[in-house]
Structure 1
Amino acid sequence: MSNREREIFDCIIIGGGPAGYTAAIYLARAEIKHIIFTGFKPGGQLISTNKVENYPGFPNGISGYKLMESFKAQSERFGTKVKDNSVVQINFNIRKYLHEIILDNSLKRKTKTLIIATGAYPRYLNIENENKLLGKGIYTCANCDGVFFKGKKVAVIGGGDKAAEESIYLSNICKKVYLIIRDNKMKASKIMQKKVLNIKNVEIFYDHKIIKIIGEKKIQAIFCKNIKHNNNSLFKVAAIFLAIGQIPNSLICKPNIKLDKSGYIITKYTITNIPGIFAAGDVQDSRYRQAITSAGSGCMSAIEVEKYLLKVQERI
C-alpha cells in the first residue's frame, strides 16, 4: 500500500459541479482536509450551457463554462486539491468512522466523510434507432453540436428551461427550429417562454410525441404523434436536440444509500441514511435542479460535515 493510500482525509467530494466546488470552498475555509474528484466531466452539465442569466452576481450573464472555471479557481485559491479521476466504487464503513473509495486507476482513498455531488445525466427517448444515431443527428447539447447544422432545420424535444435555451441558441444559427412538446404547454420559466415565442424561426408543436426516428447513418426525419388529435406529422430535420429531463447519477450509491423511486438520494439537510455520508446538488434534488440551489446544498453539506467531524472527534 502506497503512502497516498494510507492517507486519511476528513472529507472526499465526488463530483465537480456547483455543489461539489461550493462544498470544497467551505471545507477549505474551515481548514478541513479534503480533496475533490471531478470525474470525466468537470463542471457537470453546466459547462454545456451557453449563457447562464439567472445566477446572482452576473448582470449580463455568464457562460456555464466560465462560471464553473471561476468556482474551481476559487476553491483552489483556498487550498482545495482537484483531481479529474472518477470514483468507481464506495466501500462504506470499512471500520468505524471510516469509508473508502476506489478510483478509475484502481487506487484507493480513505476518508472520514463523503460528499456525493455526482449530478445527473440527460434523459433519452428510449425508442428505436435512438442509440444507433446518438452523435449522428441526436444530441443533448445545442451549444456543443449545434454549429454543425448551421442553416439547416432541426428539432428540440422538451418544454422546460433547457429546451427553451436550446431553441434560442439554435435559432441564431439554424434555418428553422421545431420545438416539440409532449404536454399542452411549456414548463419553462415565463421569461424563457416569452423569448422563445418572440423568435420567428422557432415553431412550437404542443401535444406531440416522437414515435419514430428515420435515418440509417444520419437523421433524415422524425415522426410525431399528435396526442390530442391522434394524427401523425413528419418533420424533415438534420438533427434533434433532447431536453427532456435528467436521471440522477446515483448508481455508485446502490444498494447502501437510500434512493427514492426515481433514483435520487434521499436526504435531510444533505444527510443520508449512512453516518458520515452526505449528498448535494442534482443527485439529491428532483424538484429545483438549478445551479444556485446546487451551490446552496453544497454549502449545506460542508457545514454538516464540519458538525459531524466535531461530534466524531468528541467520541474518539
Structure 2
Amino acid sequence: MDFNLSGLSSAKRSLESERVKVLILGAGPAGMSAALYAARAELAPVVLTGTALGGQASLTHVIENYPGFPEGVGGLELGELFQKQAERFGARFEFDTATSVDLSKRPFSVKTYSKEYLADSVILTTGASPNHLQIPGEVELTGKGVSYCATCDGWFFKDKKVVVVGGGDSALEEGLFLTRFASEVTIIHRRDQLRAGAILQRRAQENPKIRFVFDTVVTAVEGQKAVERLGLKNVKTGEESTLDTDGLFIFIGHTPNTQLYQGQVEMTPAGYVVTDMEMRTSVPGVYAAGEVNDPHFRQVITSAGMGAAAAISATRFLEAEE
C-alpha cells in the first residue's frame, strides 16, 4: 500500500493551525465592537474571548450610561447582545485564551491552549485587570471576604458590614450596589476628595447606608477563616486604628493586560499600548482598542468606539494590500 506521507503531514498542519484575516484578542466592548465591524466588512473575524465574555463590563450590575438603554442594561446582558449582533454578520467567538503572541512577522502568530492562529491582522482588546492593595492578608483572604467584584459577591454579605476601598466611579458604583445587601458600607479613600462623577457622589452621599473615611489607607486584612477586621492608617496624622468588618471590596484602578505583547509593540511606562488616532500600533497590521490603551476614559461607549475604529483601520489596511 502506498502511503502519501507528505499529505498526512499537510493534514496534520492544517489541524494545528488556522489562517484568518482578522484575529481579535479579547471580548469586552472593544473586542465585540471590532468583531461587528470586521464581520460587516466580510472579513470573518475570529475572537479569542479569554476567560470572561464581555470583559470587565460584564461584572457591572447595571450600566446606566450606554446610549439606547434609558432604563439601564445589565453588563452581562449587554455583552450577550454585542455577541449576537457580531455573530449575525459572521464573527466567530472561540472560548480560548492566547498563551503566546508573535508580532515580529506576518502572518502574525497567536498560540492558544488548543491551536495556533496565523493572522493577517490582529486587534488587541485584552483590557485591564483590577489592582491589588498588596497588603498582608489580602491574598490569603481573597474569596473569604476580600473581593474585587461587588456584583459577583455582594449577595454573600446580606445584612453585614462591608468596606469599599477607592474614590473613583467604580468604587462608588459598586458601593451603591452593595447597599442592596449590606447593612452598612464604609468607603475608604486615601485622599480628602473623591474622584467619581458628581452624580455618583451625590447618590452615595445621600444613601443612608454609606459613610466615608477620608485620608486613610488599609494596611492589613485580618481574620482566621474569613475577614474580621482591617488595619487602617491616616496618611496625614499617621494614626493607626482597626475597623471590624465582614468584607473588603477593592476598586483602586487597573493594570493593562499587555504582558503578552511586551517588547513587541510600543507601550507607555505604565504598560498601555500606544496607538495613533486610527488605533494603529507601532507594528503595521496590529491595532489596539479599549482599556488596553485607554487609561483615561475607561467607559463602555469609548471602548466600543475604539473597537469600531480599530476594525475599520484593519479593513482599510487589508484592502490596500489587495
Q: What TM-score comes out, normalization by structure 1 length?
A: 0.95
The corresponding residue for 1:98 is 107
Q: Which runs of 5+ in 2 are unaligned?
A: 1-11
**How far, CA to CA, are the matches of 1:7 and 1:175 in structure 2?**
53
- Out of 298, 309, 312, which is 1:300 matched to? 309
- TM-superposed CA distance for 1:280, in Å, is 0.6
- TM-superposed CA distance for 1:5, in Å, is 4.3
The corresponding residue for 1:309 is 318
**How far, CA to CA, are the matches of 1:62 and 1:252 in structure 2?**
32
The corresponding residue for 1:278 is 287
The corresponding residue for 2:77 is 66
Residues 11, 211 of structure 1: CA spacing in aligned structure 2 closer, same or farther, 3 A cutoff?
same
Contact 2:163 2:187 in 1 (8 A): yes
Q: Which amino acid aligns with 1:49?
A: T
Q: Deviations over 1:68-103 (max 9, x none)?
A: 110001001111111110011112244xx4111101
The corresponding residue for 1:26 is 37
The corresponding residue for 1:177 is 185
**How far, CA to CA, are the matches of 2:107 and 2:189 in structure 1?**
48
Larger Rg: 2
- What is the root-mean-square deviation in Å for CA atoms of aligned residues? 1.2
The corresponding residue for 2:246 is 238
Q: Deviations over 1:147-206 (max 9, x none)?
A: 111101100000011100111111121111110011111111111101100011111011
Aligned pairs (5 A) from 1:79-90: 79-90=90-101
The corresponding residue for 1:190 is 198
Equivalent position SS for 1:131:
coil
Contact 1:5 1:110 in 2 (8 A): no
The corresponding residue for 2:47 is 36
- TM-superposed CA distance for 1:228, in Å, is 2.4
**How far, CA to CA, are the matches of 2:273 and 2:224 in structure 1?**
39
**How far, CA to CA, are the matches of 2:44 and 2:94 in structure 1?**
15
The corresponding residue for 1:247 is 255
The corresponding residue for 2:300 is 291
Equivalent position SS for 1:298:
helix
**How far, CA to CA, are the matches of 1:37 and 1:276 in structure 2?**
18
Q: Which runs of 5+ in 1 are unaligned?
A: none
Equivalent position SS for 1:101:
strand
- TM-superposed CA distance for 1:311, in Å, is 2.2
Equivalent position SS for 2:139:
helix
**How far, CA to CA, are the matches of 1:234 and 1:76 in structure 2?**
52
Q: Which amino acid aligns with 1:292?
A: I
Aligned pairs (5 A) from 1:20-169: 20-94=31-105, 97-105=106-114, 107-169=115-177
Q: Which amino acid aligns with 1:264?
A: Y
- TM-superposed CA distance for 1:215, in Å, is 1.4
Equivalent position SS for 1:274:
coil
Equivalent position SS for 1:306:
helix
Q: What TM-score comes out, normalization by structure 2 length?
A: 0.94
Task: List 4+ stretches of structure 1 deviating above 4 A.
Answer: none
Indicate yes or no: 2:19 matched with 1:8: yes
Equivalent position SS for 2:220:
strand
**How far, CA to CA, are the matches of 1:34 and 1:3 in structure 2?**
18
Contact 1:120 1:249 in 2 (8 A): yes
